[in-house]
Amino acid sequence: MTDPSTSSAAAAADAPVVVAIDGPAGSGKSSVSKEAARRLGYGYLDTGAAYRALAWHALQHGADTSDSSAVIDVAGDFDYAISLDPDEYWVRVGTTDVTDAIREPRISDAVSGVARVPVVRRTVNALFRGLVAESGRPGVVVEGRDITTVVAPDAPVRILLTAAPDVRAARRSNELTTQDAASVAAALHKRDASDSTVVDFLTAAPGVVVVDSTELDFAQTVDAVLDVVRSALDTDRSAS
């Protein structure tokens, strides 16, 4: 008979390494996480895409995303799929590719209502863990709002990527050419305020390393994140 403790240890050894990255909107989480995944040869999981896709799905069905009951009802037939390949990223709801559609302003306005429903968060968090476990990759960089504290609190690498509010607004404004800087800053503030009622993504939990990219360019931020990853994994190997 196999020793259960031995089986558990073997399963843990085979499990993908999780690099958990949290942070506010405009901090560079997505682009930095995606590039870090490429450099590490890991998968990349954008957890925010699931909430955005559900918001898109709800709006397609005419649901009021500020009504928790309506969100729960429409989530019942939410058929979601996402690529973990940082070089071939896509998001689908059923057979519809929503990769671009979920970045529309109307989705950004609706997503907080969807994300704050507790049963939705529990279900989606379980989905994230399943995607990582079944990824078939040596590791996955998972980015979002509560990855370091809820989704993967035991991850060997946990990072809070942040930047000053004005810097985050300027970066997001450069990405969204159809909106002026003041509108983008107001939208970021509104999103942060709404999301912070659900999860604290502005304060590092114990054991989480802060990477502040306020004074860093993109390449420097990626390097800073990779330095944290390598240091944490070296420490983890030494401990084991």
Q: Which amino acid is at 130?
A: G
Q: Which amino acid is at 124?
A: V
**Any binding-site annotation on 34?**
no
Q: Encoding tokens for residue 140?
A: 């996955």
Tokens at 105, concatenated: 């302003």
84 phi and psi, to 5 degrees?
A: -100, 10
Q: Is 29 annotated as a binding residue?
A: yes
Residue 26 assigned to a binding site: yes
CB 78 within 8 A of CB 49: no
Question: Is residue 75 part of an annotated ligand binding site?
Answer: no
Tell me: is residue 135 an annotated ligand-binding position.
no
Sheet holding 91-93, edge to edge: 80-82, 91-93, 96-97
According to the annotation, is 130 in a ligand binding site?
Answer: no
Closest CA to 35 of 223, 234, 227, 231: 223
Q: State yes or no: 43 annotated in a binding site.
A: no
Say whether 7 counts as a known binding-site residue: no
76 annotated among ligand-binding-site residues: no
Q: Which residues are documented as binding site?
A: 23-31
Q: Which residues are documented as binding site for ATP?
A: 23-31
